[in-house]
Structure 1
Amino acid sequence: MRAAQTQRRFRGRNRAPKWKKPDDGMVSVMVLPLAVTDPADLARLGKLFGAMWNIKRAVKRDARARVDAYWTAFHEREERGAKAVRQRLGLSREALERCAYKHLEDAGHLKHHVSKALAMHMADEVWNGVQRHLFADATGKRHGRPKTGRWYHFTRIPGRARSHTIERKWETFRLVGSLHGHLMAYTDSGQHTFAQPRRMRVPAAPSGVAPTGNATVSGKPGTRKATWWDHAGPLAVVFAGGPDGNRGDLVLPVRIPQQPGQWARVEHFLANPGRWHKVDLVRRRKASAPGGWVYEAHLLNLGPGYTAPAVRQMRQQAAEMDRIGGVDGNVSNVSIVSLPATLDPADGKPQSTEITLSPQERALLEQQAKKRRGRARALERSRRATNTAQYGLSKKQTRRAEDRAAKGLKVKAVAVPGGARATRVDGVPKQAFRRDRISYGYRELRARQAEAAASAAEHRRHRARPVARQIIAAHGPTLVVEDCDIRTWYRLWGKRLSQTTPGLLISTLERECQAAGGRLVRASTWSTALSQHCLCGERVKKTLRDREHKCTACGLTGKRDLVSAALAAFVRFTDVDDPKTAYLDTAASRHAQIVFAQGLEEALRESTAPSQITVRGAGHAAVPRQCETSAPRTAGRRSRATPDETRLVRDHAGKPGHRPGRNPQLTLW
């Protein structure tokens, strides 16, 4: 009789007190590019990401099946309770970790690339998404059903946090070396200017012995074998040993920023190793790199991020400003108007700012759009040329084939068919696009397209920060904005919104207000209707095409957006956290109109706070919009006007060859 097998034992709870983050709870991230040039290291990184993708996909599939079973068992949830059903189905962090362990043990090849700690932490990441789906947040909303995702969207391997209670304990990726050692290595001990070569050398593993730091019986410190903890040279990210000890450590040299003005930021993140918390391994698409990917290490630090002294001074000055202001977001501009909080002309005068696209940025956006259209056409030609059986001939190609047949010529094969895709009766393609054969050139071009899109998105985020700081410096950190869902605007003006990005600018402005000690408060449009009121309290109805405000009661004339922004400064709240409790204080707005008189009218006609910044390349500019040329846009066959267009003048009207409705150039007066 076989002896009963003992049940597998797992590590119990830690008896030591659990480590907690500092009281401030602030964390910051620094991106460290990895200079990986060795083909063996690149191949090992590719296999590591491939193995982690297999584990994540398997755990997500199991989690999705368990979630479906959980929602199906509604009778059992009512009888036994939701917690009992989740426990039976294994919907918990510990259950998903054991699921990852099982997949790692069943697939023997994964053990050569992935450690158990990496698999466990990946299961924790999957559980975080499942948890947001099972349990509603503070607003009562749940995230969607867990999805597996795609291989090209898998770009991050989360690392495990280092132990802050046990000295020298990193379970996955660790950052070794020191900033001083890195500086000495690439300045030849301080004799030359700091410069990192294109091909950085991989730091060698420490050898020999090192003192233990503990006194022996004779009173002399003992010795031990040197490890990576004794490495004080150039910075590097180390995946120590891994599951297959014969392969050695994976050592990835780090390239720190060396541009002028970056050293203060580098010292803030890297000078104090005690603040290093964990390292995540991230890959990013780059077609020109070997393998099509470049790798980065995202270092999570315990503490606030770096803030330049000029930015800190600007925020301090903005916090001392006693002004109230309003913000009006539009499709093609963002308008801001502010006044002294005391409504006393001796404390200041009204100021207004309009954030619009500069002419340089419009030209750059046109170039980028032209490149995107060219890449899209090239991708379509490549797909058609590789999958000719899935496409028919165009009318022109069919007519040519008929003419050749009528003349008795040989049938000519068409390399790139230009007709419609082969579909069923109901219009569904006979073969799914994901099953098409794609060439190597198609993959490379697609990678360049993704790289360009990511670069453009990063540029938009970077340019929004100086513009938001400029607004805070001119109008103070206490602002009010209408609570609009900008996502609905994309149904009509998606192309224009992708150029101006008002939602991104407003969200960045909200963070800057909080950093300066203020707040950007949101007010409901139903209870205020700022665009339909005047400062005198009268209701002035306007359509979307009416971009000028004209009040017959008080005679106020100005731009619609600036008037709405000025009214937002006089919005009051019963509960600041609830936008629905907002109401318009018409008595205060009428008082300000009387007190400031001509100064307020001038601020509502044009921008009075011009831009003080210069953004390299393309960037928003705060300038008076007088006879500016807007970017061309179309909406299918019939051009649809945007809310900020008052009079449309076609530049090509009356010229030979002009056809109305074919991408006209619009001029905004």
Structure 2
Amino acid sequence: MRAAQTQRRFRGKNRAPKWKKPDDGQVSVMVLPLAVTDPADLARLEKLFGSMWSVKRAVQRDARARVDACWAARHERERDGAKAVRQRLGLSREALERCAYTHLEDSGHLKHHASKALAMHMADEVWNGVQRHLFPDATGHRSGKPKTGGWYDFTRIPGRARSHTTDRKWETFRLVGTLHGHAMAYTGSGRHLVQQPRRMRVPMILSGVMPSGEVTASGKPRTRKETWWDHTGPLVVVFAGGPGSHAGDLVLPVRVPQHPGQWARVEHFLSDPGRWHKVDLVRRRKASAPGGWVYEAHLMILGPGYTAPAVRRMRDRAAETGRIGGVDGNVSNVSVVSFPAGLDPADGSPASTEITLGLRERVFLERDAKKRRGRARALERSRRATNTAQYGLSKKQTERAEHRASKGLKPKTVTVPGGARAARVDGVPRQAFRRDRISGGYRELRARQAEAAAGSAEHRRHRARQIARQIIAAHGPVLVVEDCDIRTWYRLWGKRLSQTTPGLLISALDRECAAAGGRLVRASTWSTALSQHCLCGERVNKTLRDREHQCMACGLVGKRDLVSAALAAFVRFADVDDPNSAYLDTTASRRAQTVFAEGLEEALRESTAPSQTTVHGAGHVAVPRQRRGTSAPRTAGQRPRATPDETRPVRDHAGKPGHRPGRDPQLTLW
């Protein structure tokens, strides 16, 4: 009989002090593109992502079922407590990790591509979403129920952070090599310090031996085999010791930015390997790449991100301006007005800036929207052509078929039906869209659509950062803005908001103010009502259609948005962190109106900020000159009804001599 098996041993609690992040707690991420050109490595990456998506989908389904059971056990939660119910159902980080281990071991084939460490990290990612749903945040809000994601939405495999207490302990994905070795391997010529080829070679670890630093009893130095920790050549991401170790380590060459302006940023992130903390493997849609995906390594370092010297100087000058300002966000423009902090004319005069869409930007947005509509129509035609049984004939196609039948002609096969989708009586399609057959062309079109959307979003974020830096350079980093929920504006003016993105600009302004040593404070609209007051303290009621401010008491006339922004500069707080504690200091606003007089009225009529450079996002777009007597083309987003920021019709300067198209007097958004 077989001897009794020994009891399984578990590792005890670690007695070493727990490592903590530095006091500043700052972390930053650098995106390192991976030059994966070997078909074998590409296949291994695809299988790795496929297996990890299967694990995540299984854990998400289990987590959603357990969450539903937890909310259904109302009487048990009242009797035993919510903690006991969660413990019984397995709603904890450790329980979800064991669930991921079970799925990985029971599947059989997943163990050939993914490891238990990766499954544990993926379970932790799922638990983060479950935790946000079970436990409310500081404001009392909960996130929605965890949902099972789709294949194309799965883009990241989290890695394990390295150990900063034990040397040479970095599981899953790790970055090896040195920046100096990378520069020596790909030494450039001319204006480029580094010149990396299109197909980068994969470094190999030799089977040689190296001294281990110890000596034997005979006094000879002890040797050991060479490992990846000894690699000092080009930078590579290694997935070593995984389930597919029989095929060798998965080595992915890294392509660092090689332009001269980027080398300082590269040195900031990669020169000190002791700051490297974690590597995540990420994929991004790209139709022209093999397989439709490109892969990246997101390197997290312990420390602040890189800031260009010009940006640092600009932030330092902004912190020394000594100005206070207000911001008024609207559907199609953002207005900023600032004053000297002491309201002394010797320190400066009031300045104002309006951020609007120029003619050139609107032309670019129209062309971009036309491209999106074309891609959407192409996708719909491809789906209809592949699933003809799920769609009926259009009215024109039906009339043509009846006409051919009346003439005794042979019925013509319709390759792209133009009618409605086959549905039940209640309007639900008979076959779900996810069960439709899709062609290779459809997949390529969808990849190009996702790639274009991602590029457009990144372009908007970049332009928002540029404009935010120009704003704080002119008005300082101490600003006040109304606490508005911009999500509610999309119900009426969604198309216009998608063009101007005021929420994105205000978020970028918040980050730039904090980086420059200031703050963007939010004030409640109920306690201030900036749009319904004047600088003199009198209440001036206006509707959404009224875009001009006219005060009968003091005679002040100006743009409504600029007046609201000027009033925001005089908002005071009992508690800066509580927007509801905001109130309007009418004494200070009346003093500013008296001190600055004509300068203030000029600032409230038009933009007067020193920074009058126009930021273009349309690139080189040719704007046709408009003939005399013709009306301006209708821009996307214009509606017949009034909007909160609808003013006089936009003036078109394209027909005026000596005027460059797109050079509006305001600071354009893109």
TM-score, with length taken from structure 2:
0.92
Is the Cα contact below 8 Å between 2:32 and 2:299 reproduced in 1?
A: yes
Retained in 2: the 8 A contact 1:645–1:668? no
| Partner secondary structure for residue 589 of structure 2 | helix
Q: Comparing 454-463 with 214-223, which one deviates more in the overlay?
A: 214-223
Deviation at 1:650, TM superposition (A): 11
Tell me if structure 1 keeps the 8 A contact 2:32–2:256.
yes
User: Which aligned pairs between 1:304-453 and structure 2 lie closer than 5 A?
Assistant: 304-453=304-453
Aligned residue number for residue 196 of structure 1:
196
What is the CA-CA distance between 1:358 and the residue it aligns to? 3.0
Q: Determine helix, strand or coil for the equivalent of 1:324.
A: strand
Change (3 A) 1:150 1:489: same
CA distance in structure 2 between the partners assigned to 1:631 and 1:99 by the alignment: 57
Distance in structure 1 (CA, Å) of the matches to 2:634 and 2:216? 77
* 2:154 aligned partner, one-letter code: F
Distance 1:252 1:649 in 2: 53
Cα-to-partner distance string for 1:249-292 (whole Å, 9 max, x where unaligned) = 00000000012210000000000000000100000001110000
1:399 maps to amino acid: E
Q: Deviations over 1:336-368 (max 9, x none)?
A: 000011111111100001111233322221111
Counterparts of 2:308 and 2:223 in 1: how far apart (Å)?
44
Alpha-carbon deviation of 1:106?
Answer: 0.8
Per the TM alignment, residue 536 of structure 1 is displaced from its structure 2 partner at its CA by 0.9
Rounded to whole Å, the distance in 2 between the matches of 1:668 and 1:348 is 21
Equivalent runs, 1:39-54 vs 2, <5 Å: 39-54=39-54
Name the structure 2 match of 1:644: 645
Q: Deviations over 1:111-132 (max 9, x none)?
A: 1111111111111111111111
Aligned residues of 2:463 and 2:617 also touching (Cα < 8 A): no
Structure 1 stretch displaced more, 62-71 or 158-167: 62-71
Gapped regions of structure 1 (runs ≥ 5):
620-627, 652-666
- Alignment partner of 2:212: what SS? strand
1:91-490 mapped onto 2 (5 Å cutoff): 91-187=91-187, 194-217=194-217, 221-490=221-490
**Unpaired runs of at least 5, structure 2:** 620-630, 653-663
| Cα distance between partner residues in 2 of 1:384 and 1:84 | 52
Question: 2:635 matched to which residue of 1?
Answer: 632
Q: Which amino acid letter does the alignment assign opposite residue 455 of structure 1?
A: G
The more displaced of 40-49 and 6-15 is: 6-15
Moved segments of 4+, more than 3 Å: 1-12, 188-193, 214-221, 610-619, 628-631, 647-651
The residue aligned with 2:543 is 543
- Residue 359 to residue 212, structure 1, CA distance change in 2 (3 Å): farther
- SS of residue paired to 1:151: coil
SS at structure 1 position matched to 2:261:
coil
Percentage of identical aligned residues = 83
**Alpha-carbon contact 1:27-1:300 (below 8 Å) kept:** yes
Q: CA deviation at 1:9?
A: 4.5
Are the structure 2 counterparts of residues 146 and 389 from structure 1 closer, same or farther at C-alpha, using a change threshold of 3 Å? same
Query: Could you say if the C-alpha distance between residues 518 and 193 of structure 1 is closer, same or farther in structure 2, counting changes exceeding 3 Å?
Result: closer
Counterparts of 1:511 and 1:650, CA distance in 2: 33
Q: In structure 2, what is the equivalent of residue 80 of structure 1?
A: 80
The C-alpha deviation readout for 1:436-488, integer Å capped at 9, x for no partner, is: 11111111101110111111111111111111111111101110000000000
CA displacement at 1:618 relative to structure 2:
3.2
What is the root-mean-square deviation in Å for CA atoms of aligned residues?
Answer: 2.3
Letter in 1 for 2:635: P
Pairing of 1:511-660 with structure 2 (within 5 A)? 511-609=511-609, 611=611, 615=615, 617-618=617-618, 632-633=635-636, 639-648=640-649
Cα separation, partners in 2 of 1:613 and 1:294, compared to 1, 3 Å? farther
Distance in 2 between the 1:516 and 1:105 partners? Answer: 52
Which digits, 9 at most, give the CA deviation of each residue in 1:534-556, with x for residues without a partner?
11111111111111111111111
Secondary structure of the corresponding residue to residue 60 of structure 1: helix
Answer yes or no: is the 8 Å Cα contact 1:238–1:249 preserved in 2. yes
Q: Separation in 2 of the partners of 1:518 and 1:269?
A: 26
Cα distance in 2, alignment partners of residues 500 and 188 from structure 1: 42
CA separation in 1, counterparts of 2:637 and 2:217?
85
Q: Which amino acid aligns with 1:376?
A: A
Matched residues in 2 for 1:595 and 1:4: separation? 94
Q: Distance in 2 between matches of 1:429 and 1:111?
A: 39
Q: Distance in 1 between matches of 2:202 and 2:187?
A: 16
Closer/same/farther in 2, CA of residues 139 and 285 from structure 1, 3 Å limit: same
The CA distance in 2 between the partners of 1:135 and 1:640, in whole Å, is 43
- Distance 1:650-1:184 versus aligned 2 partners, 3 A rule: closer
Q: 2:622 is matched with which residue?
A: none
AA of the residue aligned to 1:379: L
Q: Quick check: 1:480–1:571 contact (8 Å CA) kept in 2?
A: yes
With over 3 angstroms needed to count, the CA separation of the structure-2 counterparts of 1:190 and 1:101, relative to structure 1, is farther
Task: For 1:97, give the aligned amino acid.
Answer: E
Q: 1:351–1:475: 8 Å Cα contact kept in structure 2?
A: yes
Q: Which residue of 2 aligns with 1:496?
A: 496
Compute the displacement of 1:246 (Å): 1.0
- The answer to whether the Cα contact below 8 Å between 1:353 and 1:610 also exists between their aligned partners in 2 is no
CA distance in structure 2 between the aligned counterparts of 1:504 and 1:431, rounded to whole angstroms = 38
Deviations 1:359-416 (A, max 9, x none): 3322221111110010011111111111111111111111111211222211111111
Q: 1:631: how far off?
A: 6.6
The one-letter code of the counterpart of 1:494 is G
Deviations 1:176-234 (A, max 9, x none): 11000000001179999521111111111233012213355566642210001111111
Q: Is the 2:366–2:636 contact (alpha carbons within 8 Å) kept by the matching residues of 1?
A: no
1:153 counterpart SS class: coil
Distance 2:503 2:209 in 1: 58
How many Å apart are 1:617 and its aligned residue? 3.9
Q: Which amino acid aligns with 2:158?
A: P
Aligned-partner SS, 1:152: coil
2:175/2:236 contact within 8 Å kept: yes
Q: Cα distance, 1:80 vs. partner? A: 2.0
1:176 and 1:232 in contact (8 A); partners too: yes
